[in-house]
Structure 1
Amino acid sequence: MGKLSGYQIVVMIIMFELGSTPLFELGIKAKQDSWLAMTLAASIGLLLLWVYLRIQGRFPGMGLADLLRVHFGKFLGTFTGLLFGLYFTYEASRNARDFSELTVMTILQQTPQWVIIFTTALISLYGVYKGPTVFFRVVEMLFPIVILSYGVIVILLFIARLPNYHRLLPMLENGVGPVVSAAIPDIVSFPFGQMVVFLMFWHRLSPGKKLGRIASMGYIIVAVLLIVLNAISMAVLGPEISSISSLPLLEVVQLIRIANILERLDVFVTLLLYIGLYVKMTLFCMAAVIMMKNLFKGSHAAWSAAIILIICGLAFLEPNNTVRLWLGLTVMVKLFTIFQIALPIVVLAVGAMRGLGKKGTEPETAHTADEI
């Protein structure tokens, strides 16, 4: 089983959480306080991260499939693992649809969506087939490009004098109610609750590394970055325009004009969003494949092909982008708290009651043979 370095884990957390998040102005229900809603959600997400780390810490050599069977027993654990596999698959399908919608709205307006989704799925399939070790290395190579690019964008926005902090005022105009309502459960679920997928990969961390410190570092870095991007976007567009914008970050970047030379950077930002969507889709898909393979055996290649085909089918569930956004950002984020909050807390409680993870309680099957 290929091991992952601490740096690779940090990088993947940052790239995964960035993912498709900049596509949306999250917390818009709180208007100019959306960045406060992001901050509150990130704080709650940090508590969820602690839950995930506590679960992983009981049996550091186990992936989520084995953790569920150890805590719930073979039958119930396998059933719960199947549900998690379906959850990961659906999340991947949403990212595939995000990829196609972004492409149609920006650079390939006349291209059928099924062509874009199928092409994206093939690229993702190759990453899944090569396995976590190779995929994490690829993301490690992309990381400096993405971070430097976002940094340049922020600098250019300030050089162009686009952000106006007055658009973030007055703070808490309607009290804390709208902030709490916007943050819980919507932003907690997307993107911070999606960290649950890392229970599929943390057991691959190289021996001797402190997972808690590594995961917390990656989470805090990306949480701060997302809050800053949210605040800057709101400071440029204001709550009125942000609330009706389909791609707020692209509209923000389109406003950059410096000396009548530097402009039209939206294509550049689109490429960054493509990278984020690809990383997120592939990691979810890989998690689903590994989960199914661990639960039901079979070859990695066969499960990879099967999951990718299901993802392509699920990507067309919603008839249009409006329905997709409504379903994803208002309905599914609440449903997904079952996997992100409820089940992990139940696992934590069951383990505490049974004394799992203590010396002498680790089962013989704790270290699953994972050859991917």
Structure 2
Amino acid sequence: MGKETSSVSAGQIAIFIMMFSIGSTPMFQLGTDAKQDSWIALAAAAVAGLGMLWVYRTLQNRAPEEDMGGLLKLHFGKVIGIVLGVAMSLLFAYESMRNVRDFGELTLSTLLPQTPMWCVMLIITGIAYYTVSKGLTTFFRITQILLPVLVGSYGLLLLLLLIGGLIDPQRLQPVLENGIGPVLKTAFPDLLSFPFNQVIVLLVFWKYATGSKKTGAASYTAYIAVALFLIAVNAVIMMVLGPALTELKTLPTLEAVVLIRLANFIERLDILVTMLLYIGLYVKIAGMYFASVLLLRSCCKVPLKVGALAIAPLIYAASFLEPTNTYHLWAGLEMSVKMTPFFQIVLPLLMLIIGIGWVKRKAERQKASP
């Protein structure tokens, strides 16, 4: 595993960012509190998220050969760094669990309503464990294979929505009907926390691409591309369903695609959307799971396979804690996004400030010492 994780290219990092950021995001119509201005709220959060990506990248540049665990130790000392690193590892495991539950709920509501959810979630957790056990390079290569499928399919769906005459720009009117206040309230911290600030996992993975000088540029480019994609998807769904209907639907993307009817032949494309959501959820589950295991190894010297075996049952068991899908969605879209900014925003900004002028020198001294 040690050798395998040392050969990640800048292009693979960029593809991972796109696949990971898309993830489960198209399952939800984010920012519905802003009504038809939800796409503006998403754009505002994306700009702020780009600023946080710069913060993450600045922290990584202080010690390019360290991951998040090493950076936490450099900034806060060994003991506090380990405590914070373990906390971050558990946060990543929690986020992975949320996507496992999303996978189970999506399967029961669309394809296999008679299949026990425990079975579906056990299968996807097992697949994620198998992915982690095969190493980071293998996982990143899988994302390379899946990206053209994802991009091509979403492009096809957008084209069919246009041809079907389902997109009505008037549903985005009036712009800023209630002023900028509701838009900013919707964007911060909720939309900033999910989906944009979840790219904090890059502080775990960037270490393995230190040989490439293009990693930073590739990361920024990929982030901007996926942010534009998510904003476009949000706007398109709003133009198809309208703000009132969108807010009522649990899976608005599926609802929009179900409306496609062309030549009495092309229809029932919700199955395609479900498959795309499966791909995104798999990447999100495995990515968070991998970050949790690698961070645990960095902080506590837990071997990768041991960490993977320990985290997998934790993820699976935690996926049953929320009794209903309604509670699950409330906990994720209302509660979690209020708590995670401490780790995604406050902690990195604190590291940025306290480490100015000395952390980089400390890292260089540690690297030079025998």
CA RMSD of aligned residues (A): 1.3
Hey, what's the Cα distance between the residues in 2 that align with 1:201 and 1:361? 18
Hey, what's the Cα distance between the residues in 1 that align with 2:196 and 2:92? 15
Hey, what's the Cα distance between the residues in 2 that align with 1:365 and 1:326? 46
Contact 2:9 2:212 in 1 (8 A): no
Hey, what's the Cα distance between the residues in 1 that align with 2:211 and 2:326? 46
Contact 1:93 1:315 in 2 (8 A): yes
User: Which of 212, 216, 235 is the matching residue for 1:212?
Assistant: 216
User: Which of 40, 52, 60 is the matching residue for 1:56?
Assistant: 60
What are the equivalent positions in structure 2 for 1:1-372 lying under 5 Å apart?
1=3, 2-205=6-209, 207-352=211-356, 354-358=357-361, 362-364=364-366
Q: Sort the Cα spacing of 1:314 and 1:33 in 2 relative to 1 into closer, same or farther, 3 A.
A: same
Deviates more, 1:298-307 or 1:50-59: 298-307
Hey, what's the Cα distance between the residues in 2 that align with 1:178 and 1:295? 41
1:363 CA drift (Å):
3.8
Superposed CA deviations along residues 288-307 of structure 1, whole A, max 9, x for unmatched, are: 11111222223221210110
Unaligned runs of 5+ in 2: none
Hey, what's the Cα distance between the residues in 2 that align with 1:280 and 1:272? 12
- Give the secondary-structure state (helix, strand or coil) at the position aligned to 1:317: coil
- Give the secondary-structure state (helix, strand or coil) at the position aligned to 1:256: coil
Hey, what's the Cα distance between the residues in 2 that align with 1:210 and 1:261? 46
Hey, what's the Cα distance between the residues in 1 that align with 2:10 and 2:83? 31
Q: Sort the Cα spacing of 1:182 and 1:52 in 2 relative to 1 into closer, same or farther, 3 A.
A: same
Contact 1:59 1:366 in 2 (8 A): no
Contact 1:30 1:179 in 2 (8 A): yes
**4+ residue runs of structure 1 moved beyond 6 angstroms?**
none
1:355 CA drift (Å):
2.0
1:111 CA drift (Å):
1.0
Hey, what's the Cα distance between the residues in 2 that align with 1:156 and 1:25? 20
Residue type of the partner of 1:240?
A
- TM-score between both structures, scaled by the size of structure 2: 0.97
- Fraction of identical pairs, as percent: 45
Residue type of the partner of 1:86?
L
Q: Sort the Cα spacing of 1:250 and 1:175 in 2 relative to 1 into closer, same or farther, 3 A.
A: same
Paired residue total:
365
Hey, what's the Cα distance between the residues in 2 that align with 1:210 and 1:346? 27
Contact 1:289 1:300 in 2 (8 A): yes
Hey, what's the Cα distance between the residues in 1 that align with 2:172 and 2:298? 48
Hey, what's the Cα distance between the residues in 2 that align with 1:204 and 1:52? 15
Residue type of the partner of 1:154?
L
Unaligned runs of 5+ in 1: 368-372
- TM-score between both structures, scaled by the size of structure 1: 0.96
